[in-house]
Amino acid sequence: MWVLVMCVTALFVMLSHWIYTQAKTRCNGKLPPGSMGYPIIGETIEFFSPYSLHDIPPFVRKRMTRYGSLFQTNFVGRNVVVSTDPEINHFIFQQEGTSFQISYTESFNEIFGQQSLISYHGMVHKYLRNLILQLVGPENLKGKLMYEINEATRRHLHSWARHGTVDIKEVASEMIFEYFAKKLISYDESKASRKLRENYKAFMDGLISFPLNIPGTAYHACLQGRKNATKVIKDIFEERKKSTTPHQDFLDLLLEEVRKEEKFLNDAIAVDLVFMLLFATHETTSSAMTLLIKFISDHPEVLAELVKEHETILRSRDKEDDEITWQEYKSMTFTHMVINETVRLANIVPGIFRKALKDVEVKGKFKFLMIKWMVFD
């Protein structure tokens, strides 16, 4: 019995070491310092450990202290170079499309879908981005979104006030999801039999988790949430394809693109695009709003200055309850400064993935060829 156990253990260790050796990065130059962690799993477990949203992840901070602003590691089966150096990050973003391109791990691609916006590059990515700008671009913001969001915010603030105490992250997420679900696909959670937002909650709870797809794990629940949410969106999409009634939403635009003779957009890409936009709009914005309120409450002098700026705008109106104007929005100098500082401090998206397309030399020290995955904090 013990002999069998020892043999199996030895075989597993040998196999793991072989896979790890084969997966190790080959490079014609010098790699930054760092550790690849354990065989196969690398440093994945520590990378996915929970941390405070508005702080540098402990995984990164610990290695910055040990190795500096540029280091190598391995997680979810990929060798990674992590850069927290502003100069290097600027250089990489300047080389977008030539030496580097946006890229994600297989687990992220599985979560978001192979047809999602993050999977495309170049002209295709530009095409999809231009479609999105028709929804949230400056012209639409100035013409419609600002007034609609102002009305929705007022309505929800009155509702929150009646409750006395609320969970800001939860109610902000609900408010933004409600607005953009209607804006994207004319979806109303209160009237729907299948609750789309519940599936998004399951999806988001396992988004940053160890990629182990077995029942009972957060990652499995995440994939199931995505599957169920996508099914709801796909059903709405199919129903609308059969209808000739315009709904004045983003789905109208997508259907128009799908029906073109010379088209790039197909049903699968359109559904995944809606899924991705619903996630991106309500999750990141609600997190930023929550931290905005925290930061303001921590700095009473900032709150006083904000009140002063907005009371000045209200006094300049003919009627205090008039709709907000574009001129008023542009005049909120201090408000914009607070928002920009919140986005800077909030660290809503702690890392951005890039893939090296060829040999890349950084600061005359390091040269990467086979390092495929690079994340920048």
Q: State the CATH class of domain 123-298.
A: mainly alpha
Which of 193, 208, 171 has its CA nearest to residue 50?
208
User: Can you list the pairs that 78-81 forms with residues at least 24 positions away whose Cβ atoms lie under 8 Å?
Assistant: 78/42, 78/105, 78/372, 78/373, 79/23, 79/24, 79/25, 79/36, 79/370, 79/371, 79/372, 79/373, 80/371, 80/373, 80/374, 80/375, 81/31, 81/32, 81/368, 81/371, 81/373, 81/374, 81/375
Q: CATH 1.10.630.10 in the chain: give the residue spans.
A: 123-298
Could you read off the pLDDT tens digit of each residue along the chain, which spans 377 residues?
A: 444 444 444 444 444 443 444 444 444 557 788 888 877 777 877 877 766 656 677 888 888 999 988 888 887 777 888 888 888 888 888 887 788 877 776 667 777 766 666 666 666 667 777 878 777 777 888 878 888 888 999 999 999 988 888 999 889 999 999 999 999 999 988 777 677 888 888 887 777 677 778 888 888 888 888 888 999 999 999 999 888 888 888 999 889 888 887 777 888 888 888 888 888 787 788 888 898 999 999 999 999 999 999 999 999 988 877 888 899 999 999 999 999 998 888 766 667 788 888 777 777 666 554 344 344 44
What is the distance between the alpha carbons of residues 236 and 62, in angstroms, rounded to a whole number? 47
